[in-house]
């Protein structure tokens, strides 16, 4: 208990944002009866004498509310009572006295003539109804009480385009903003201030729907706060895409990057080329590990897949717009085009009529130097003018469906081996004096960028479009680390930072023994501690960043959610909150509250942050030495090496463990307060030995 008390003092000492002052300390013996203190007092009970240098402590903490320490109790209870679990963390938050009670008679009012505000008010009423059962009405004129939404008649320069000011008192709640997007984000904060049960899709009885008195001023750090969803590797229906958009909007994301074409499926209806969806949207069904599935058998029917009609696209675009999210479509060329080539083989160099939409087979070999060899031609032919005619028609239809200013043209992982063997490509290279196929791809990228610009749009591509020369006016999405983004910024090009070591949500988030089989890992802390602005660049060129969810190993909606959250919580805070306000321990506490909210909403999420980080080496005697660490503070790690199942009664990890000879299995699990927090990890010794770094 002494450790808890010290932790509480340390918490108060290091967190002046909670504005506490200790005005009295009482000491008691274990047999002394509890004392009574005024309502609103926050207590830490600890029945042992303890000396505190109050003068030093009070120098760090401002007086706002009376706090009396009756020594003894838990640090976590203090944090829970005095912090609000908002994600992303607002720029400024001050606690008030009391709370606002939401009832069936509460009104939601907007100023006359503010149609967008009225739409947001209706959205709020709809979000409140399922859990509360209240059918709240939206009034056209502000009242003295209730919930008030208003656009500023005179802009508040601090708030910008997406900021808001929220004030909640016992009598009313007001949200003001310069633009409708700010009101919408203020509503998201308001919903997070309500009890977790507000996330329920059915009425919940016995809940006091109270909102604590607060004053919040908030606005984003970056204008681009995105999430990408790959619907090619696995197709997700329109209704699920809408629900996914709705959920990321709750965390103040404002860009949805929709990856609509790849080797495994073409997902958008193009009326000029109907076979893109009648053929390119379908593949033979397979269940297993993506990348090792069997190829299509002769005569096997392609029944797995789907696509979005143009009416579907329009519906999703409007749905996102209503949540202040812009959708950027991606048509990935010239590589990753097997689905298009299966529909129209003449688009490739090989023109193989037997090309099929890939069902997750191994069709490439990656080499140790980072290069790769494609065993099936999945690349458009850059020397064929008919390819550019095809793309012109495709982008004409895509541009008409998506109002957003950018269209993503892909450009990543383009295999050039077939170009090197193709006479037409070689002739074009000689004609244009292109030194190599890298320059040939640059030529292709510039042609595609010009097509996109001719539709009144701007082109964006993965950082490979820098190779051989960046298309004029194109923006760069930096995924192979930060290097591409830095290079693009030095060329005065707009940049969206999305480096895979921090932003790839498809990568493992825990130990590989219990995570999907992928090539690398992005732990939660790696996402949270990352910053999108590198040193030495013009920060105004960094539009922001996004998380990317590739779906090779993600066949279901629950798995989409498992891989997205909680890392999307972390990235939302990276892109929205001030850099200087990051606090890992506070973030973990807030995440745990949002886990409870997800439970109410019946949404999946990963608990991988509770699983230990496992490293292994060999000692001088040749024995394996196990090192364990945790991301989340306060966890106890228990382990066994004797084929038993560990729990809180088994050995607790305190120092590196030398694995004895003859052991064939190590099992590890984390606990907190006597309750299991992480998952049971079981690793065979031969697999553990493979982790030894040479």
Return the H-helix or E-strand segment holding 180. helix 180-193
Under DSSP, the state recorded for 690 is T
Contact 646, 638 (CB under 8 A): yes
User: What's the residue count for the chain?
Assistant: 694
* Helix boundaries (H) for 552-684: 557-564, 567-576, 584-601
Residue with tokens 């197709």: 235
Mind giving me the DSSP string for 287-338?
-S-TTSPPPPPTT----EE--B-HHHHHHHHHHHHTTT-EEEEEEEESSS-H
Is 413 noted as a catalytic residue in this protein? yes
Cβ atoms of 681 and 514 closer than 8 Å:
yes
In degrees, rounded to 5, the angle at the alpha carbon of residue 216 between the alpha carbons of residues 111 and 182 is 50
**How far apart are alpha carbons 217 and 36 in whole angstroms?**
36
> How many CA atoms lie less than 13 Å away from 274 in the CB half-sphere?
0
State the Rg of the chain over Cα: 28
Q: Single out the catalytic residue among 156, 210, 315, 413.
A: 413
The verdict on whether 336 is a catalytic residue reads yes
Kind and range of the H or E run holding 448: helix 437-454
- C-beta of residue 434 within 8 angstroms of C-beta of residue 440: yes
CB 569 within 8 A of CB 588: no
**Where is 452: in which H helix or E strand?**
helix 437-454
The catalytic residue among 199, 230, 262, 552 is 262
Token pair 């591509």 is at which residue?
461
Joined together, the tokens standing for residue 431 give 């004609």
CA–CA dist 213, 624 (Å, integer): 55
Q: Comparing C-alpha atoms, which of 317, 159, 249, 255 is closest to residue 543?
A: 255
CA 219 – CA 30 distance, rounded (Å): 49
State the catalytic residue, choosing from 234, 257, 259, 336: 336
Reported for 530-534, long-range contacts at CB under 8 A and 24+ positions apart, including other chains, are 530/499, 530/502, 530/503, 530/574, 531/574, 531/579, 532/222, 532/497, 532/574, 532/575, 533/497, 534/482, 534/485, 534/486
Per DSSP, the residues of 224-266 read: EEEEEEE-SSS---HHHHHHHHHHHHTTT--EEEEE-EETTEE
CA neighbor of 93 nearest in space, from 547, 590, 525: 590
Active site residue 165: no
- For the annotated catalytic residues, the residue numbers are 262, 336, 413
């Amino acid at each position: 208990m002494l450790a808890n008390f010290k932790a509480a003092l340390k918490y108060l000492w290091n967190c002046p944002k909670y504005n506490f002052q200790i005005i009295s300390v009482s000491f008691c013996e274990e047999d002394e009866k509890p004392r009574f203190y005024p309502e609103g007092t926050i207590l830490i009970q600890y029945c042992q004498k303890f000396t505190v240098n109050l003068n030093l402590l009070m120098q760090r903490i401002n007086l706002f509310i009376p706090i009396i320490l009756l020594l003894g109790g838990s640090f976590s209870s203090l944090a829970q009572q005095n912090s609000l679990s908002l994600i992303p963390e607002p720029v400024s938050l001050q606690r008030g006295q009391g709370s606002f009670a939401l009832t069936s008679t509460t009104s939601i009012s907007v100023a006359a003539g503010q149609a967008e505000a009225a739409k947001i008010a209706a959205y709020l009423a709809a979000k409140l109804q399922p859990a509360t059962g209240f059918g709240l009405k939206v009034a056209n004129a502000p009242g003295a009480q209730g919930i008030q939404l208003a656009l500023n008649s005179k802009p508040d320069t601090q708030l910008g385009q997406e900021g808001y000011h929220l004030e909640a008192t016992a009598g009313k709640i007001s949200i003001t903003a310069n633009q409708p997007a700010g009101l919408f984000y203020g509503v998201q904060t308001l919903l997070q201030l309500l009890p977790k049960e507000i996330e329920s899709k059915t009425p919940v009885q016995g809940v006091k729907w109270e909102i604590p008195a607060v004053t919040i001023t908030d606005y984003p750090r970056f204008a681009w706060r995105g999430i990408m969803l790959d619907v090619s590797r696995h197709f997700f229906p329109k209704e699920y895409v809408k629900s996914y958009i709705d959920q990321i909007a709750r965390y103040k994301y404002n860009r949805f990057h929709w990856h609509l074409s790849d080797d495994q499926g073409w997902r958008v209806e193009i009326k000029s080329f109907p076979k893109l969806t009648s053929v390119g949207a379908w593949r033979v069904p397979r269940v297993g590990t993506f990348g090792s599935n069997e190829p299509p058998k002769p005569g096997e029917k392609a029944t797995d897949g789907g696509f979005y009609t143009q009416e579907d696209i329009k519906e999703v675009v409007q749905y996102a717009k209503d949540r202040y999210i812009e959708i950027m479509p991606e048509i990935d060329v010239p590589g990753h085009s097997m689905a298009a080539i299966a529909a129209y083989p003449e688009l490739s160099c090989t023109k193989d009529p037997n090309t099929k939409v890939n069902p997750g087979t191994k069709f490439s070999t990656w080499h140790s130097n980072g290069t790769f060899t494609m065993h099936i031609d999945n690349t458009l032919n850059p020397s064929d003018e008919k390819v550019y005619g095809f793309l012109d028609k495709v982008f004409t239809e895509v541009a008409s469906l998506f109002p957003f200013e950018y269209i993503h043209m892909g450009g990543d992982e383009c295999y050039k081996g077939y170009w090197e063997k193709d006479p037409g490509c070689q002739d074009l290279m000689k004609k244009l004096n292109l030194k190599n196929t890298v320059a040939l791809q640059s030529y292709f990228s510039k042609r595609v960028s010009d097509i996109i610009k001719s539709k009144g749009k701007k082109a964006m591509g993965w950082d490979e479009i820098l190779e051989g020369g960046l298309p004029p006016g194109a923006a760069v999405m930096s995924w192979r680390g930060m290097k591409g983004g830095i290079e693009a910024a030095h060329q005065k090009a707009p940049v969206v930072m999305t480096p895979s070591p921090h932003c790839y949500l498809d990568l493992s988030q825990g130990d590989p023994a219990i995570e999907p089989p992928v090539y690398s890992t992005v732990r939660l802390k790696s996402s949270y501690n990352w910053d999108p602005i590198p040193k030495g660049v013009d920060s105004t060129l960094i539009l922001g960043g996004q998380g990317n969810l590739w779906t090779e190993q993600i066949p279901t909606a629950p798995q989409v959610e498992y891989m997205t959250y909680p890392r999307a919580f972390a990235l939302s805070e990276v892109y929205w909150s001030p850099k200087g306000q990051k606090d890992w321990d506070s973030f973990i506490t807030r995440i745990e509250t949002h886990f409870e909210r997800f439970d109410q909403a019946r949404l999946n999420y990963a608990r991988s942050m509770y699983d230990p980080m496992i490293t292994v080496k060999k000692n001088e005697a040749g024995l394996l030495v196990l090192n364990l660490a945790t991301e989340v503070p306060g966890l106890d790690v228990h382990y066994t090496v004797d084929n038993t199942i560990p729990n809180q009664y088994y050995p607790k990890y305190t120092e590196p463990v030398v694995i004895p000879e003859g052991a064939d299995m190590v099992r590890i699990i984390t606990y907190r307060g006597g309750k299991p927090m992480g998952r049971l990890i079981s690793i065979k010794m031969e697999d553990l030995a493979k982790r030894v770094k040479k």
